[in-house]
Structure 1
Amino acid sequence: MKEQATVICRRDDTVLFVRHRIRWTLPGGIVRANESPLQCAHRELEEQTSLVAVSSAYLWQFVGFNKRHHVFIMEIADGADPQPRNEIRTCRWFVPRDIETLRVSVPTRSILELVSGRRGHAAPWTNQRARRAGAHDRHLPWE
């Protein structure tokens, strides 16, 4: 099973999505040899969107069809705007109510449902704050 870092990147009341071809996804990618999932999450966010996270927290693992997603929540500096890079065609911020209408993969939708705490809804997560990830982070680190 492949290991993947998946990033929920927040700014105000929105979350960042990237589009490769026809589907929108959360930023992320395959963890390289000798790379931690956290390092991969930071690398992929920057490679795909040119954004650098100012804070991050490990949420949990999500096992999809053929990948184990290490899910992180990250925040970026105020005023930073994503620029599509590499294989990414478009980057866009979406409010939670619009996420339900997006064409996304089953794992992406499931991850968003878990973050929102409600099955079937990508609800607001604006009261949840990222913090610096540490060795003690194992489960949901919402504050």
Structure 2
Amino acid sequence: MIYGRCAACKSQRRRCPSDCIFSPYFPANDPQRFAYVHKIYGGSNVGKMLQQLPEYVRDQAVNTLYLEAQCRIQDPVYGCVGIVSKLYQQIHDAEVELAKIQTQIACLQNQQFEVESNFNVLSTIEAESNLNFLQSQSNSMEQFQWPNHVPNLFN
């Protein structure tokens, strides 16, 4: 009898042969892994699936079976589909929030453009009126003469 039985052989209370199909994927130190897969799929069905698969994909298949079994045990109605649905809902919610924020940004940019254009129109009108005022003042400024001698105020 081999002392290092895999979790599958321990669970099924049988001797673990040297060529056990379960031993590479269900080690003895993680019995819960096989318990989940066995509860959902059944031990013999998992063995048949693993025998039909090439060896290089078996590890990934066992990981997938374990994940799906774990999800099905946690959520018996929806299983993995429940997780996928929640993720799609989160994506949808994020897209809606993004659209709202983009709309707010566009509105704020539009308001800022309107304020700037109104400011530019007002600035142009004010500048023209100031220019007219300055031109009328320039005639009186030409008449102003600086004195030749300006006292030094800093001494």
**TM-score bucket of the superposed structures, by smaller chain:** under 0.3
Structure with the largest fraction of strand: 1
- Which structure has more helix as a fraction of its residues? 2
TM-score normalized by structure 1? 0.23
TM-score, normalised to structure 2's length?
0.22
Greater RCO (CA < 8 Å, at least 6 residues apart): 1
State the structure with more CA Rg. 2
